Amino acid sequence: MQYLSGDNMKKIIITLFFITIIATFINEKENIFIPSDAIRFRIIASSNEEVDQNLKLEIKDKVENALYKVIGNTNNIIEVRELINNNLDIIDNIIKDYDISYQVSFGNNYFPKKIYKGITYEEGNYESLVITLGSGKGKNWWCVLFPPLCLLDEQSNLEDAEYELYARKLINNFKQN
């Protein structure tokens, strides 16, 4: 059996130390956090029945498209708030065409923690537009309306890394304004 000399042992330990450090940095992924003053958008279905879930998504698409026509060229959160508040009737006009009771609320609402495509959505009360359909006992759909991460979600062909890159850019632009 051959023993290592003190110098060779030191070299092995130093090499292993650097390999460990490098591996740690390569595997450590920086989480992206949504700014606490972002505006979220949430729709809660009446139930988990397929018909109610489909209705939720149909209404979501229409409301989302209408909202982006109103706020799409805005990058100032104060202006976005004002535009949403001044255009809640657009949402009412979309939903009242359906045979369902509903409630629209723009204010602070609770959201549980969620990690989606590498982005951490922290638990807490957030400024949000919430639409509750019927009894509101079904699964919900939600995204970040401003900065417009909902739009990234619509580009479902984005790989997670591309999604993170675009999300990081949107969030950084949002923080600068």
Predicted confidence (pLDDT) per residue in 80-123, tens digit: 999 999 999 999 999 999 989 999 999 998 887 877 766 777 78
Q: Residue 28 pLDDT > 50, yes or no?
A: no
Domain assignment present for residue 13? The answer is no
Domain assignment present for residue 36? The answer is yes
Q: What is the mean pLDDT of residues 10-34?
A: 56
Domain assignment present for residue 3? The answer is no
Domains of the chain: total: 1
Domain assignment present for residue 9? The answer is no
pTM, 2 dp = 0.71
What was the pLDDT predicted at 148? 77
Of 44, 32, 31, whose CA–CA distance to 142 is shortest?
A: 44
Domain assignment present for residue 119? The answer is yes
Domain assignment present for residue 66? The answer is yes
Residue 98 domain boundaries? 32-176
